[in-house]
């Protein structure tokens, strides 16, 4: 039988409840139990609270690396480690709209990187989006999904437990969504001007997610609710939110968090770029310069180009700026994204869960991260 490893903390959050002066028992990379400290006197003491590792479903880069610019297995390792330093233990490595060749190389590199600590799967954001809602995506690379594209995506999914495809209704049909969903791909609506009724038709076809709610989509009006209205009104759709003080106004964040119909809920994403864990002040994407200043990443014309945050920054923002309870903020960045992907053994520390956790300081920082019970980083 494998030996148990024990970690003691003044407080442990299991994803639902707090346990005071408790010990987290880990066996075989999974949580065995949380017990009172008196039952495990030899446990390793940790200086801060233990909380579930964060799960980020939209990560474009980190550690000075952008996956589009370096679609390699080594780059994936760098990105995952950069985010682990901030308490993120599961990452959906995300490729922004790019050429067919770069996309193929990225998928191949991700296949080679399966098993990398922190890599949960891949997220292909484009190229099958609406030109009108391109955001920072290169319009020259946006195109309709062909039967060959569909077949390639379905073939790629066989290599990954989890795969997200962000698509626009303008360039992907409901039949194609149905085929992707049937293959186990999570289809997310984003970068689209689709109507409320169209969004529901795509949900009927199997779409279950909405990419960065409010951003790069038509906004909710009283007679034309659009994708925003569909995301908030239809419980089949989970919706990601970028909470950095720039992408979405606080009032809109509060309305979305209060108004979301379940069981599909809201989860936080970072939409992080290569700047995370680095001192980069600018970088390129599809040959265009992106500038970093005052917490924002923008093209020369001011268009937001991803975000200069990690997931714990979003967690801190909704807790400190919006006033959400810490427990709720933690769930939005751990339990909720796991549920959005249909994962039952991540995002919490109940028995049987992956032993993915980090030490949370009182000022909402990470001070050491463990994946599968193994320490990955000492913190940031």
SS3 sequence, 176-189?
HHHHHHHCCCEEEE
Instruction: Let me know the angle formed at the C-alpha of 237 by 313 and 177, rounded to the nearest 5 degrees.
Output: 115
SS3 82: helix
pTM: 0.97
Q: Give the Å distances, CA to CA, from 197 to 119, 228, 263, 309.
A: 35, 12, 20, 34
194 contacts 226 by C-beta, under 8 angstroms: yes
CA distance 292 to 275: 8
Active-site position among 56, 98, 149, 271: 271
Q: Which region holds residue 175: left if phi is over 0, alpha if psi is between -120 and 50, else beta? A: alpha
SS3 272: strand
pLDDT of residue 252: 97
SS3 23: strand
Handedness of CA 299, 288, 228, 60 (dihedral sign): negative
Q: What is the DSSP letter of 72?
A: S
CA dihedral in degrees (272, 274, 278, 279; nearest 10)? -110
List, in order, residues 6 or more apart from 186 with CB less than 8 Å away. 162, 163, 164, 165, 208, 209, 340, 341
- List of domains in the chain: 4-51+348-377 (2.30.40.10), 53-340 (3.20.20.140)
Tokens of 199: 């969004």
Q: Give the Å distances, CA to CA, from 332 to 58, 187, 229, 302.
A: 14, 20, 20, 29
**Active-site annotation holds for 204:** no
> What is the rounded radius of gyration, in angstroms, for the C-alpha atoms of the chain?
20
List, in order, residues 6 or more apart from 210 with CB less than 8 Å away. 188, 189, 190, 217, 227, 230, 231, 237, 238, 239, 240
SS3 366: strand
Residue 128: Cβ-neighbour burial (10 angstroms; 0-12, 13-18, 19+):
buried
Token pair 């292909």: residue: 124
List, in order, residues 6 or more apart from 249 with CB less than 8 Å away. none
pLDDT of residue 380: 45
List, in order, residues 6 or more apart from 147 with CB less than 8 Å away. none
364 contacts 319 by C-beta, under 8 angstroms: yes
pLDDT of residue 3: 81
CA distance 236 to 263: 7
pLDDT, one tens digit for every residue, the chain (380 residues): 568 899 999 999 999 999 999 999 999 999 999 999 999 989 999 999 999 999 999 999 999 999 999 999 999 999 999 999 999 999 999 999 999 999 999 999 999 999 999 999 999 999 999 999 999 999 999 999 999 999 999 999 999 999 999 999 999 999 999 999 999 999 999 999 999 999 999 999 999 999 999 999 999 999 999 999 999 999 999 999 999 999 999 999 999 999 999 999 999 999 999 999 999 999 999 889 999 998 999 999 999 999 999 999 999 999 999 999 999 999 999 999 999 999 999 999 999 999 999 999 999 999 999 999 999 988 54
């Amino acid at each position: 039988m494998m030996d148990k490893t024990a970690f003691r903390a003044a407080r442990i959050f299991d994803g639902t409840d707090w346990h005071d002066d408790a010990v987290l028992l880990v066996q075989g990379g999974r949580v065995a139990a949380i017990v009172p400290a008196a039952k495990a006197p030899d446990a390793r003491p940790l200086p801060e609270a233990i909380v579930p590792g964060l799960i980020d479903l939209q990560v474009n880069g980190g550690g000075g690396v952008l996956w589009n610019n370096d679609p390699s297995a080594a780059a994936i390792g760098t990105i995952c480690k950069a985010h682990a330093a901030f308490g993120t233990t599961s990452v959906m490595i995300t490729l922004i709209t790019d050429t067919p060749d770069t996309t193929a190389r990225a998928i191949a590199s991700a296949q080679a990187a399966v098993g990398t600590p922190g890599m949960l799967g891949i997220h292909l954001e484009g190229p099958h989006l609406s030109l009108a809602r391109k955001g920072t995506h290169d319009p020259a690379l946006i195109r309709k999904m062909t039967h060959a594209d569909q077949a390639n995506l379905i073939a790629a999914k066989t290599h990954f437990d989890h795969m997200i495809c962000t698509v626009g209704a303008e360039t992907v049909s409901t039949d194609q969504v149905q085929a992707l969903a049937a293959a186990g791909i999570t289809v997310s609506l984003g970068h689209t001007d689709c109507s409320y009724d169209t969004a529901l038709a795509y949900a009927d076809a199997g779409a279950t997610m909405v990419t960065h709610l409010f951003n790069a989509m038509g906004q909710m009006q009283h007679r034309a609710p659009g994708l925003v209205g569909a995301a908030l009104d239809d419980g089949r759709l989970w919706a990601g939110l970028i909470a950095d003080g720039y992408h979405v106004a606080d009032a809109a964040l509060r309305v979305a968090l209060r108004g979301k119909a379940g069981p599909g809920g809201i989860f936080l994403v970072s939409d992080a770029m290569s700047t995370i864990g680095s001192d980069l002040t600018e970088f390129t994407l599809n040959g265009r310069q992106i500038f970093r200043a005052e917490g924002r990443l923008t093209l020369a014309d001011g268009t937001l180009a991803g975000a200069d945050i990690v997931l714990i920054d979003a967690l801190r923002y909704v807790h400190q700026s919006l006033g959400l309870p810490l427990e709720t903020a933690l769930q939005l960045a751990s339990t909720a994204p796991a549920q959005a992907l249909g994962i039952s053994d991540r995002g919490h520390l109940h028995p049987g869960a992956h032993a993915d956790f980090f030490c949370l300081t009182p000022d909402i920082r990470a001070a050491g991260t463990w994946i599968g019970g193994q320490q990955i980083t000492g913190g940031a």
